[in-house]
Amino acid sequence: MGRSSIDLYSNDVGAPFVDIKSFAAYVGGSPTNISVGARRLGLNTALLTGLGNDPVGDFILNFLQNEGVETKFSPRKPGHRTSAVILGIEPPDKFPLVYYRDNCADIELTIDDVLAAPVAQSRVFQFAGTNLSKEPSRSATMFAAEVARQAGTEVVFDIDFRPDQWHDPRAFGVVVRSALRLVDIIIGTEDEINAAMLADPGQLTLTHSQVSDTKVSGDVDTAIATLLTLGPKALLQKRGSEGVRIHLKQEDGSIEQIDAPGYPVDVYNILGAGDAFGAGFLYGYVKGWGWYKAARL
């Protein structure tokens, strides 16, 4: 459940943003990407997102239907627009990104939209932090997590910190922490984990308009320990080239750690890598694999 967008990626790899001549169109948004990735691996997935009555919404629906993702629970939102993202690609470490989410349709998801979706019939309910940035999506998402927990559906939360989507970056942590009582598994980077405990906006560093890769200073181990006291049984810390560290809460309050190494690759574009990981992990988790094996997929 959450955001969807048309993603316009620069065709001019390596060119500064001001020199880009053309873009290629794709479909994006963290929950949308995860639904597609998990479907490609073989899971049955349904997406609850909001779309405008516009050609961009048509583009997204056509792509998802071709991928086999169930879209009948994703409503059109008259008077609102399907969102968009524009991305420059300057490997290995510059990926300037601009979100166009003013008046966007996916933030208009309501409790009624949740009631029309098969949340209680699902094995896993997954949502992202951006869902919580504004109403009515915030309340609808919290309601969906309540429905899931009552039905025995596992709730997986991708922290998905996008500071430009919040009126105050500290509000992100306040809202996220209030939602964790409904969450079984958290997924996030070190920076996103620190953002969930953010106390001072001075902890943020944003370079090259890389909204999806905002740096957040802090004591990540203390943050993890605190977040796990709020409800979740596990936190998956995405560590880039070092793979994933799984933090499992034990009955005595201690935390077991499992390191799952990554695979060496050449970096051309970091956007979406975490979503691909999320899809692979969820596949393995639903199939009953152990934490290590699922995190390696």
Would you list the DSSP string of 23-63? EEEEEE-HHHHHHHHHHHHT---B----B-SSHHHHHHHHH
Rounded mean pLDDT, 72-77: 99
User: pLDDT digits over 239-254, tens only?
Assistant: 999 999 999 999 999 9
Which of 40-49, 90-99, 237-246 shows the lowest per-residue confidence on average (mean pLDDT)?
90-99
For residue 126, give the H/E element and its range.
strand 124-128
For residue 86, give the H/E element and its range.
strand 83-87
- Number of Cβ within 10 Å of residue 290's Cβ equals 12
User: pLDDT digits over 226-238, tens only?
Assistant: 999 999 999 999 9
Structural contact between residues 50 and 61, judged by C-beta atoms closer than 8 angstroms: no
Strand order in the sheet with 244-249: 124-128, 154-158, 185-189, 234-238, 244-249, 255-260
Statement: residue 209 has pLDDT above 70: no
- Set out the domains of the chain in order of their start, with CATH numbers: 5-296 (3.40.1190.20)
Distance, in Å, from the CA atom of 66 to the CA atom of 80, rounded to the nearest integer, reads: 24
Statement: residue 207 has pLDDT above 90: no
Rounded mean pLDDT, 266-271: 81
Rounded mean pLDDT, 260-267: 91
DSSP-derived secondary structure letter, 282: H
296 forms beta bridges with: none
pTM of the model: 0.96
pLDDT for residue 152: 98
Statement: residue 156 has pLDDT above 90: yes
Per-residue pLDDT band at 213 (split at 50, 70, 90)? confident
Per-residue pLDDT band at 269 (split at 50, 70, 90)? confident
Distance, in Å, from the CA atom of 64 to the CA atom of 165, rounded to the nearest integer, reads: 25
Mean pLDDT of the chain: 96
